[in-house]
Amino acid sequence: MDTRKGSKDPHYPLLKSSQHHDHAYFDQLRSKMRWRLTVVYLTPLLVLSVLFYFEYSRNIHEGIDNHMRSIAENQRNTIDLFLQERVSNIRSEFRDEVLPVPYSANEMKAVLGDLRRESPAFVDLGLFRPDGELVAYAGPFPDLVGKNYAQETWFRKLQSQKSRHVISDVYLGFRDKPHFSIAVRRPGKDGLWTLRASVDPEKFGEFVSSSYLFKDAEAFIVNPEGIRQTFSTRKEVAADKSLMPERTPETEVTEVSVGGREYLRALAWLTENEWALVVRVPEAKAYASLHQARLMLAGILLLAVISILFVVVRSSKKLIGRLEAADSAKETLRLQLFNAAKLASVGEMAAGVAHEINNPLAIIYEEAAMLIDILDPQFGQTVDYDEFRERLGAIKEATMRGRSITKKLMAFARKHEPDPEETDINLMIDRVLDVKKTDFSVSDIKVVREFEEGLPLLMINRNQMDQVFLNLLNNAKDAIEDDGRITVRTKRDKDWVRIEVEDTGCGMSLEVLEKIFFPFFTTKVVGKGTGLGLSISYGIVEANGGRIEVESEEGKGTNFVILLPISNM
């Protein structure tokens, strides 16, 4: 026998759908939908925000670093120019025609006055013999005259190097007051003479710190050991003893920790001396714009997240609400069609059932008439109570028989809620066959039961599955023209219970077989079939977690196979 299955067209059958879901299912679906939509919407936003944040932070860092570097280099160039001018000032005053050797006190004072007019940072002026003795002086420390500076670092450095001038670090010297010296030398008749001018480090510091990157920033000069050579008039700070980098032509911008505080530091080496300019600003001040941008980005991101969550919650609530309403409407329609099909099946059985009910009614009528005759005085019959009791018993028996038939019909016609329950499939099929017993007997159809014993109980909707088997049995009866046979089999097939309803009827062609599960498709004459029985049966079986198949060959009969899962328990 060829095996054919119903069409897989997406519009078939009308009731092919998953089983009806309760409110908790839609709550769970709504929750899942919200989480998934939230992930879908927020993931690209968060990824873009993270990328934008790091890229923007990098650009801001680079911008601030470049700005710091630019300020430090500009100020370094200004300081270099300042020192070069001071050296040039001293050198121009130390020419033979300006300050001849030997010297005079008035000439020294005049030269100091010229230097101070060029820069008020100059403190005093001294002339040194080749042996290091201070022989001429102009300034506030006249007691220095006669002191020998031969062992001073700046003097020895000037005498030993090729350069004709030297700029010293800040030191106390004989005057015991911080200052640094700018000294030049000039050949004389008896050796190299030196002219030295002292510079006030506080005034020089004011000049160095005259340009700031940010509020609370500071700029100062350090030597290669990291010892400060200038002092801020705004704030006295201890010498920066942090490790100094090697001298490079490039300006370095780094983050450093000083005294437990974090700073952004730009360090530019001077070309005129072995000094470095340090521009330093607290990180919180340096990156204030970055922090503001972060807060702004966080605020925008927060608003975007709130907006997305609002849209997701509202959309999911609206969409799932529509799905729940559609599912409820579909379930209502399915139950209405199910009950309509059941009533139609009851109607199809009416003719056979009417014959069955007529028999007990005829018995009741005959026995009641006989009792009336016995009790009629005109016949003059003697009442035989044993016979009277026997006839009443026959009436009672006929009444119970009719009641049994109508009770079975009412059980099929009654509406039930689709609640699954543990069901013995063999007992359920027996009950359906009992309802059809009279109908099959009138049509001279033999029913064969081939049930496997000990089948597990199935969690199914018993009332709905009654309708499925009733539909299949009605179709099998209609397919058998004269006498024939309907065989019902049950057996276990791995994790399924297999039920077969096989008839010896006319069978179906391939064209009919492909359409049998379509709603309203029928091969019966007009008025006899609705075309909904198999469509409804298909939906019921699927709703109970099973599947239905059909095997048919024209002229040889049809076999409907229902597989119900044992795992439903």
Taking only the tens place, the pLDDT of each residue in 207-230 is 888 755 566 778 889 888 888 888
Q: Residue 229 corresponds to which tokens in the numbers above?
A: 């050579």
Q: Which of 16-25, 316-325, 501-510 has the weakest average pLDDT? A: 16-25
pLDDT band at 393 (very low <50, low <70, confident <90, very high): confident
- Residue 475 to residue 548: CA distance in whole angstroms: 15
Report pLDDT for 7.
42
Q: Is the pLDDT of residue 59 over 80?
A: yes
Q: Judge if 30-286 and 340-568 fold alike in CATH terms.
A: no
pLDDT at 2: 46
Which CATH architecture fits 340-568? Answer: 2-Layer Sandwich (3.30)
Chain centroid offset of residue 343 CA: 52
Query: In this prediction, what percent of the chain has a pLDDT beyond 90?
Result: 22
What is the structure's pLDDT at 14?
39
Of 162-166, 200-204, 270-274, least confident by mean pLDDT is: 162-166
Confidence of residue 397 (pLDDT cuts 50, 70, 90): confident
Confidence at residue 512, expressed as pLDDT on a 0 to 100 scale: 81
Whole-angstrom distance, CA of residue 192 vs CA of residue 184: 10
Q: Which pLDDT value is given to residue 13?
A: 42
The confidence band for 184, taking pLDDT boundaries of 50, 70 and 90, is very high
Kindly report whether the global pTM for this prediction surpasses the value 0.85.
no
The answer to which of 191-195, 326-330, 521-525 has the lowest mean pLDDT is 521-525
Where are the chain's structural domains? 30-286, 340-568
Q: What is the pLDDT of residue 235?
A: 43
Inform me whether the pLDDT recorded for 182 exceeds 80: yes
pLDDT of residue 402: 73
Mean pLDDT computed over 169-197 = 88
User: Which residue would you say has higher pLDDT here, 369 or 260?
Assistant: 260
The position carrying tokens 């030049």 is: 184
Helix axes 23-93, 201-208, angle to 10 degrees: 130
Average pLDDT over residues 297-305: 88
Order the strands of the 191-199 sheet from edge to edge: 134-138, 122-128, 191-199, 180-188, 165-167
Lowest mean pLDDT across 18-27, 39-48, 505-514, 553-562: 18-27
Please give the C-alpha separations between residue 104 and each of 100, 107, 130, 201, 494, in angstroms, as whole numbers: 9, 5, 18, 28, 126
pLDDT score, position 3? 47
Greatest mean pLDDT range, 141-150, 315-324, 344-353: 141-150
Contact (Cβ atoms closer than 8 angstroms) between residue 533 and residue 478: no
- C-beta of residue 542 within 8 angstroms of C-beta of residue 517: no
User: What share of the chain in percent tops pLDDT 70?
Assistant: 81
Residue 498 β-bridge partners? 491, 563
Confidence class of residue 180 from pLDDT cuts 50, 70 and 90?
A: very high
Q: What is the mean pLDDT of the chain?
A: 80
Query: pLDDT tens across 527-569, in order?
Result: 455 566 787 788 888 888 899 999 988 888 899 999 999 865 4
Tokens standing for 555? Answer: 């002229």
- pLDDT band of residue 140 (cuts 50, 70, 90) is very high
Q: Which of helix, strand or coil describes residue 225?
A: coil
pLDDT in tens, 264-283: 889 999 988 889 998 888 88
Stretch 21-25: mean pLDDT, rounded?
77
Give the per-residue pLDDT at 347. 59
Backbone angles phi, psi at 408, to 5 degrees: -65, -40
Confirm or reject CATH 3.30.450.20 for domain 30-286, answering yes or no. yes
How far apart, in whole angstroms, are the C-alpha atoms of residue 157 and residue 165?
9
Residues 101-137: pLDDT tens digits?
A: 667 788 889 889 999 999 999 999 999 989 999 999 9
Which residue is associated with the tokens 């006839």? 391
Q: Which position has the higher pLDDT, 173 or 258?
A: 173
Which contacts qualify for 368-371: CB closer than 8 Å, 24 or more apart? 368/395
Collapsed DSSP state (helix, strand, coil) of residue 473 = helix
